[in-house]
Structure 1
Amino acid sequence: MAVYETLLLHTQDDKFYIEARDPGTKEVLVIDRLSQEIILEENGLGIPPGASKPICGIMGIIKLLRGSYLVVITKKTKVGEINGQLIWKVAGTETIPYKRTDLHLTEEQKEDNKVYESMVQYALENNTYYFSTTFDLTHSLQRLYNTSPEFLQMPLFERADQRYVWNGHMLREFTAQPELGKFILPVMVGFISIRIGILNTKRFDYILISRRSCLRAGTRFYMRGLDEQGQAANFVETEQIVQFNGSRASFVQTRGSIPLFWSQRPNLKYKPVPHISESQSHLDAFKRHFDDQVVNYGNQVLINLIDHKGAENRLEKMFAKTVYESGNQMMRYEAFDFHHECRKMRWDRLSILMDKLAKDQQQFGYFWMDANNELLKHQVGVFRTNCMDCLDRTNVVQSMLARRALQDQMQQMGILKQGENLDDHYTAAFESTFKNTWADNADACSKQYAGTGALKTDFTRTGKRTKFGLLKDGMNSLIRYYMNNFVDGFRQDSTDLLLGNYVVEEGEGVTRPSPIRKSKDAKFMLLPAIAMVAFSMLLISMLIPAAELHLQIAYILFWLAATVICVGLMGVFGIEFIDQPKLSQAKVKSD
């Protein structure tokens, strides 16, 4: 059952009227701004005159200190079509408070509410949201094919995979009333690209979809590993689709944080040392995670791309040990030290990994159905890839696996001749389409998680590692360092607020302390100022000669020592200077 595509929002002093304007309907959704009651009027004849505007969909309702807010989609851009169904990207939203004033709040609550409003706005503006009113974006083609006709008749929200519905929390007041199904729009976060490809004069659609899980979602350093329910941080399902002459083929891969209990909180160091929990049972949560993965995807090849030395080595060994202890016969572990094997820009050595995975990929296969919806092949397993962040190294390997699957699919579908491969068309326009689509996917996932575009995309876009690419990676790494240390606390809180991991209570700041008013220890905040003064005095002592040389040397040594001591203390107490989350991911002493 499709969701209404054309809506008109009428804003009155006491009510919101959301009028369905699709042909053949007169339904109106009425939201009382005072009682917050939501009702459905089937005739829609009693809308009072007043301000109105077209909207593209309802994101949901979120509660802050001021009260409830209605969040609507005001702008959308067309991405393309999948199986003839329109796919849209959210291009603009509006957050409208139920209450017309904030006079019922104290002055401190008013300030706190502005912070919460800015968090919601940031979350809405800085994620990539996609939706369709007629097509279920949260399921792969194979899962949709394997469902019953009754399932396909269910409202989009009811049948959606809740792992990928990012406005699920905001829609909870609507979903309690099944009759509102045509107004309830599931929205996913991730990446969707729908492009035209041409090879051998044959025209086809090349589609890439990355579905980012809303379970254990967050930022790079504040969300790592597993939780007690077995949900992995930064979990993404990526599906590559080819549409040609009515037939469709898809290939699914997954990525996710190393499935153990571990953390890596920022502390001003460029690479904080990962901490592996000693107090939690890794094996139990690990089993829960992969039991779920096997149910959803079948057999698993776990590709681990982290280093086999240094700080990452302990994680690699623990990962391998836990796989062995789990005894799961549907899993195979494949470790590949990406940085060591590809050192000195020898990225051609990735062929070593591809050769090791060739047999698995042949066994797993892919999904393929003809123009008559008859199943020709199905995928029986997935590659589950991770590095430390599941971004840069991961995307490179996933694109190579996707290319190999694509070549086989094109041969089977008749786009490529038997025995012909994609490398024979290295100069064709589609080569650029394929590479840039995967590089764009890397950038989108990286911006959502780490705050910058991905690293190593020069290889994805061109097939070569370049010096310019290294320089660009260096710049992105510096920006990531700044974001991870001084912005990500706010970003994490924004995500948690949007997803309902933290729910604002109306009496917050009066009946209970406000979490966003947590202040940093003043004595630590003096250190940066003292360090700057000491460094300035050091420069002055070096540039302006004193009356006697030994006095100048003494001044230089004193201010140098003061600078070094202050900087050293900042390093020791680095965690006190960073932007930490204040809501559901607030740091606890046990960390």
Structure 2
Amino acid sequence: MCFLYNKPVTFSLNRCLSFQTAELKLKDLCAKLTLISRRCTRRLGTRMWRRGANFEGDTANFIETEQLLETEDFSFSFLQVRGSIPLLWEQIVDLSYKPHLRVISHEQTPNIVERHFHDLSQRFGEILAVDLTDKHGEEGQLSAAYAAEMQNQQNVRYVPFDFHFHCGNSNYDSMKILYDQISEDFEKQRYFMIDRKGDILEEQKGIIRVNCIDSLDRTNVTQCYMAQKALNHQLQRIGVLTCSECISMFGEENGKFRILWAEQGDEISLEYAGTNALKGDLVRYGKKTLAGLIKDGISAVSRYYLNNFHDGIRQDALDLISGHYTVRRNAPSPFQRNNFEPLSKNVTLQYLPVASALIIGSLTATSFTLHQAGRNTQQYVSSVICAGITAGIMAIVKANGRQFCSRPRLCGLL
């Protein structure tokens, strides 16, 4: 166990995920700004194969991020946490871009939520739970289930904020709407502060827990905004900034601050989703750019490929190295299976290249026959046949989409 400014860290449960640092020069002050993110290993996994919570109340992608500010005379710490919505829910990949999201009804759900927030309150004090999920569609159903459970939680304030509704047009300034809702609690929670002698001048009395559907992209933007507010309070506390000044007025130093948060967001996303974070431009510049949109598009396609065809194997590797799966000498290997054993009816994983080739071939044939149909009306029949074959193959693949995807075999979802 070692101690950072705000709290003790037990490395058996928390692993350092990201470490970023920068030198700031504000007026006559030279300061060091450090960002440390630590991932809880109790529900370690990949984006689609580790969602929600387990029966002990541990949630997927649970990360505590500590922002440290060090000057010659004072040191500060501000801590935030993120994590998946602490319910039983799943989103199994099936080749669709956005797989079906299902909330699992279980009699233990109230106990799971209670265990999760009891653990947080024991470690951090008062909890402010900010939920950034959409309020419509399947995501809205999950958010509604979360809100219903939060009504029974004592000493936890639940704040829903539809990020896409308020900030959907890349309007970073709309984060002020959220801050206005939670500013009183935010300022009461304070931050940790010590002087050069080691005397504690201030303690952080609570924590903000932020989540979106993945606790990645929208969460990064929100936590960066809150960290900026905390940094302003700290610099005003020691007289570097006046009450009317903020870090955003200092372009170069504010840029360094934003880069720290953008880079740590990328590192968190790489481990969980396999790509850099989306909405990185909102963190770096406070607005969208054309280059950022292109980068987000590439990352979205990459996530689709990795989630469907790679993450099952990666999940097995994480379960093995983290000790969640124990190898037994006399037990048969879960990877030993007959290559011809059907996964679902007559569809096997080995058929995916064949199915892909047939779809591409059928589409090519359909395009060719349609082009020829302008010269020979009899080619229309061939076009219809080719189009029918293509539609049939695509329907079979879609109906058995889950069986074509990479799935973990060592541990269950919970």
TM over 0.5: yes
| Residue number in structure 2 paired with 1:162 | 12
| Residue number in structure 2 paired with 1:271 | 98
The C-alpha deviation readout for 1:130-168, integer Å capped at 9, x for no partner, is xxxxx92xx541224xxxxxxxxxxxxxx835321xxxx
| Residue number in structure 2 paired with 1:515 | 335
Specify the code of the residue in structure 1 equivalent to 2:276.
Answer: G
Q: How far has the Cα of 1:350 moved from its partner? A: 1.5
| Residue number in structure 2 paired with 1:549 | 377
Specify the code of the residue in structure 2 equivalent to 1:435.
Answer: R
| Residue number in structure 2 paired with 1:45 | none
Q: How does 1:353-432 map to 2 (within 5 A)?
A: 353-425=178-250, 427=251, 429-432=252-255
Q: Report which of the two structures shows the higher radius of gyration computed on alpha carbons.
A: 1
| Residue number in structure 1 paired with 2:286 | 463
Unmatched 5+ stretches in structure 1: 1-134, 145-158, 165-187
Distance (Å, rounded) in 2 between the aligned partners of 1:518 and 1:140: 51
Structure 1 residues 217 and 518 mapped into 2: Cα distance closer, same or farther (>3 Å)? Answer: farther
What SS class does the counterpart of residue 325 from structure 1 fall into?
Answer: coil
Structure 1 residues 384 and 200 mapped into 2: Cα distance closer, same or farther (>3 Å)? Answer: same
Structure 1 residues 226 and 516 mapped into 2: Cα distance closer, same or farther (>3 Å)? Answer: farther
The C-alpha deviation readout for 1:292-318, integer Å capped at 9, x for no partner, is 000011111110001011110111110
What SS class does the counterpart of residue 301 from structure 1 fall into?
Answer: strand
| Residue number in structure 1 paired with 2:82 | 255
Q: How far has the Cα of 1:202 moved from its partner? A: 1.3
Higher helix fraction: Structure 1 or Structure 2? 2
Structure 1 residues 530 and 423 mapped into 2: Cα distance closer, same or farther (>3 Å)? Answer: closer
Cα pair 1:247 1:371 within 8 Å, conserved: yes
Q: How far has the Cα of 1:352 moved from its partner? A: 0.5
Aligned partner (choices 19, 27, 32) of residue 205 of structure 1: 32
Q: How far has the Cα of 1:515 moved from its partner? A: 2.4
Distance (Å, rounded) in 1 between the aligned partners of 2:194 and 2:161: 34
Distance (Å, rounded) in 2 between the aligned partners of 1:445 and 1:343: 23
The C-alpha deviation readout for 1:415-444, integer Å capped at 9, x for no partner, is 33454322332x2x2111100000001100
Q: How does 1:50-449 map to 2 (within 5 A)?
A: 136=2, 139-144=3-8, 160-164=10-14, 188-326=15-153, 328=154, 330-425=155-250, 427=251, 429-449=252-272
Q: How does 1:451-530 map to 2 (within 5 A)?
A: 451-507=274-330, 512-515=332-335, 517=337, 519=339, 521=342, 523-524=346-347, 525=351, 527-530=355-358
The C-alpha deviation readout for 1:200-221, integer Å capped at 9, x for no partner, is 1311110101101111010000
Are 1:538 and 2:366 an aligned pair? yes
Distance (Å, rounded) in 1 between the aligned partners of 2:333 and 2:202: 58
Specify the code of the residue in structure 2 equivalent to 1:143.
Answer: K
Distance (Å, rounded) in 1 between the aligned partners of 2:373 and 2:91: 46
Cα pair 1:528 1:566 within 8 Å, conserved: no
Q: How far has the Cα of 1:348 moved from its partner? A: 2.1
Specify the code of the residue in structure 2 equivalent to 1:362.
Answer: E
Cα pair 1:516 1:582 within 8 Å, conserved: no
| Residue number in structure 2 paired with 1:568 | 395
Unmatched 5+ stretches in structure 2: none
What SS class does the counterpart of residue 6 from structure 2 fall into?
Answer: helix
Q: How far has the Cα of 1:347 moved from its partner? A: 2.9
RMSD in angstroms over aligned alpha carbons?
A: 2.1
Q: How far has the Cα of 1:536 moved from its partner? A: 3.5
The C-alpha deviation readout for 1:526-559, integer Å capped at 9, x for no partner, is 5434333433332342345699523x11111011
What SS class does the counterpart of residue 162 from structure 1 fall into?
Answer: coil
Distance (Å, rounded) in 2 between the aligned partners of 1:277 and 1:447: 27
Cα pair 2:59 2:84 within 8 Å, conserved: yes
Cα pair 2:373 2:380 within 8 Å, conserved: no
TM-score by length of 1: 0.66
Aligned partner (choices 273, 298, 301) of residue 450 of structure 1: 273
Q: Percent identity?
A: 32
Higher strand fraction: Structure 1 or Structure 2? 1
The C-alpha deviation readout for 1:381-425, integer Å capped at 9, x for no partner, is 111000000000001000000000001111223433454322332
Distance (Å, rounded) in 2 between the aligned partners of 1:518 and 1:347: 53
Distance (Å, rounded) in 2 between the aligned partners of 1:347 and 1:195: 23
Q: How far has the Cα of 1:504 moved from its partner? A: 2.3
| Residue number in structure 2 paired with 1:38 | none
Distance (Å, rounded) in 1 between the aligned partners of 2:384 and 2:162: 45
Distance (Å, rounded) in 1 between the aligned partners of 2:333 and 2:77: 51
Cα pair 1:347 1:465 within 8 Å, conserved: no
Q: Moved runs in structure 1, 4+ residues, more than 6 A?
A: none
The C-alpha deviation readout for 1:110-142, integer Å capped at 9, x for no partner, is xxxxxxxxxxxxxxxxxxxxxxxxx92xx5412
Q: How far has the Cα of 1:505 moved from its partner? A: 2.8
Q: How does 1:29-68 map to 2 (within 5 A)?
A: none
Specify the code of the residue in structure 1 equivalent to 2:13.
Answer: R
Distance (Å, rounded) in 2 between the aligned partners of 1:361 and 1:433: 24
